Amino acid sequence: MSGLKHIVFVTGANTGLGYEIVRALSQSPKPYEIIVGCRTVSKGEDAIKKIQSENKDSLSSLATQQIDITDDASIDKAFNDITEKYGKLDTLVNNAGGSFDNEVKPHGQMTLRESYNATYNLNTVSTHIVTGKFIPLLLASQDPRLLFITSGTSSLVETFNPKFPFNPPVPAGWPKPESRRLLGYRASKTGMNMVVRDWCRVLQNDPIKVLNISPGYLATGLAGEDNAAMGAIDPSIGGNFVKDVIEGKRDADAGTIMRKDMIQPW
């Protein structure tokens, strides 16, 4: 059983936004038990070493936990390991996700159907399964928080927003140019938003705060390219935003999709 530290489990935590969330939490004056979820333990250990070398005075403890959210056996083992070691979970950050849009032939090895199915399975179905598995550990906490990471591109209302880099103008005629970038990813996150809404409904009489975060367009390489040139911001900004949500600074926005400075329209 854990002591007084708030226990946080971040999936997909050895790289990208997940890494920045762990890094931000480790720099907080509040002490945490941070469980670094990773598919490959050695990569999680490397991430921990780097974070600890940057902040030797951290009050938090970091440990790896192997989990592949698309693998039920891996999910079950992670649940059993965390149950045995800690007995509860204060915060689950459903961060693991990705896109297979750039793997479609002829540039990649997948068919369009394979790409969409893989993306939806990872971002929507697997996130839902992980959440359901860990609810009992969250209910054992005195201050349970359930976080989801969505996307600014998932908004139905903003589909036609020309300011988004993934909404370029499309000329008339057929075939169309390759302008539907990351559509599989966007659709999967829109689907995940529905999953989040249903968890809000299911948990409305339980003490778990359900928080859905749109961290901004981050330079994490999710699109398979150097997206900083397209206006993406430093991922540490997203990491600190998620830390603030974990620490209760946006509790009033539970049940919505929250951006750093506003509520994202559905």
Residue 10, Cβ neighbours under 10 Å: how many?
Answer: 28
Of 28, 115, 141, 151, which residue is the catalytic one? 151
Is 151 part of the annotated catalytic residue set?
A: yes
Site of tokens 């349970």:
144
Q: Which residue type sits at 253?
A: D
Query: 3-class SS at 146?
Result: strand
Contact 22, 62 (CB under 8 A): yes
**What DSSP element (H or E) covers 47?**
helix 41-54
Q: How far is CA 121 from CA 46, 109, 127, 215, in A?
A: 27, 18, 8, 21
Of 120, 189, 209, 243, which residue is the catalytic one? 189
Is 189 part of the annotated catalytic residue set?
A: yes
Contact 67, 38 (CB under 8 A): yes
Among 40, 42, 32, CA closest to 89 = 32
Of 141, 185, 214, 217, which residue is the catalytic one? 185
Is 176 part of the annotated catalytic residue set?
A: no
Residue 248, Cβ neighbours under 10 Å: how many?
Answer: 12
Query: 3-class SS at 201?
Result: helix
Angle between helices 16-26 and 41-54 (to 10 degrees): 40
Residues with Cβ within 8 Å of 106's Cβ and at least 6 positions away in sequence, in order, are none
| Residue 23 backbone phi and psi in degrees, to 5 | -60, -45
Q: How many CA atoms lie within 13 A of 252 on its CB side?
A: 3
**What DSSP element (H or E) covers 92?**
strand 91-94
Cite the active site residues: 151, 185, 189
